Structure 1
Amino acid sequence: MRKTFPAEETLRALARSVMKRQMHPLIILTSDYLIDGECRFRGMMLENPEFEFDVICVDHEVSPAEIKEMQLISAMHSISLTVYEQALACKEWMEQGNGTAKELAEKIDRDQSLITKLLSLWKTIPEVMKAAEEGHIGLKNWYSISLQPECNQLGLLQMYLSKMPVAEIEAKSRKMRKPAATGTQKVTRIKCPVPGKSSTVLVSGAGVTFDEFIETLNDLVKLAKRENEKGTSITTFQKICHDLSKKG
């Protein structure tokens, strides 16, 4: 599961701590496969290869999925794995078809939202995954990036890498997540019954977009208010609108 290891001095320090008081035994299979405690083991091989560890030996048959679960449980309750390695382990567990993110969260006693955020890395472009693997961005960063369509992800990644203030990045990210304008569709007729009223608004033209529809209504309301203040009748108002439309 682990892809990287601490520096030699860190491993040696861990080993010296274990020699003083061994709090947690190593977990191995009868085949000598080490399930949990690899950093402690590596450190001890550097510091004192003759040291005798306390060991829990799993003597029954264990599936790859069960091994992964045991490693995940251990890793998620310690600092033994980087956040990238945790994300990778969750991904591998999911790819084995062992269940849903919710089920994984229950198995390793972690909140489902954390699992969702870890797995969100695999919804990003390769550049984001690489930055996460190299430790340039963290969980919050890649989760925020994953919420964007792929076309926006590289730009957001560059903001994080440039050390732009987080508040500024979040503001830009929210703006980028706004849905694209839908005012480009054109229709020849828009008929809208007014909610709570017995009237209907009808706008027609050669090709009317949503934005143009809104602009038309706003202009019409302004004109109607102005003429109403003058005391213009509704019949005369219709004639005024007709004349203005002819003038373009």
Structure 2
Amino acid sequence: MSAEEIGKKADLGPEYQRVLPEAQAVAASGDVERACEILLALEKQARLANDVATLKEAVGSILTLCAQHKRWELLKDHVALLAKRRAQKSGAITVVVQRAMEFLAETPSDAVKMELINALRTVAEGKIFLEKERATLTQMLSRMKEARGEIDEAATILQEVHVETYGAMTKLEKTDISTLVSDGSIYAKIDRPAKLVSFHRPLSPEEHLSNWSADISQLLRLVETTCHLVNKENMIHKI
């Protein structure tokens, strides 16, 4: 018995095979929303019956119908809806993200693509089982920002990815990251003994002064503290 079959209360596979053609026919008639509702009813049954295999098929089919009929806003809405369903299985959420990612190349514009990427990143945020997908989505979003000339924003977005996540990426994805570091798009400093990489660029003395100048009271407090420490050192050495 597979892990997905443990705790399974019913097999809704035959019901899925019956309902899917009906939903496809309804979508073909132009009522994609109704088609999604038909499959959502089956998704609920499969989720409550712990039939994970059928659950995955149902959520994947919902997104596929939306994409096939170019209903990108509806697709984005169902990405969020399916991920937030009560007691949703991690396997189903994984299918939601992975299936939707397959349709990114078919989106009609960069704006639509960016909205879908942001929706998927929101779903994947904080989920360990989706850290690789979130890193890939973040990299895609960063590239789009870079292509639009928004270099600083692209670098900031890319720095959101945890360092350990890069180990799960493919060699091609790692090469892309390396290229961004080499051409100066993002900053990276390697601590080889600790096996850590920092993507946060340290501030230069000029940048520190610029930040302090924005708050004179903070600058005066720093000067006062420094003078106090200098006087303290002088007193200690005189003793």
- State TM-score, norm by structure 1: 0.27
Larger radius of gyration: 1
From the two aligned structures, give the one with the greater strand fraction.
1
From the two aligned structures, give the one with the greater helix fraction.
2
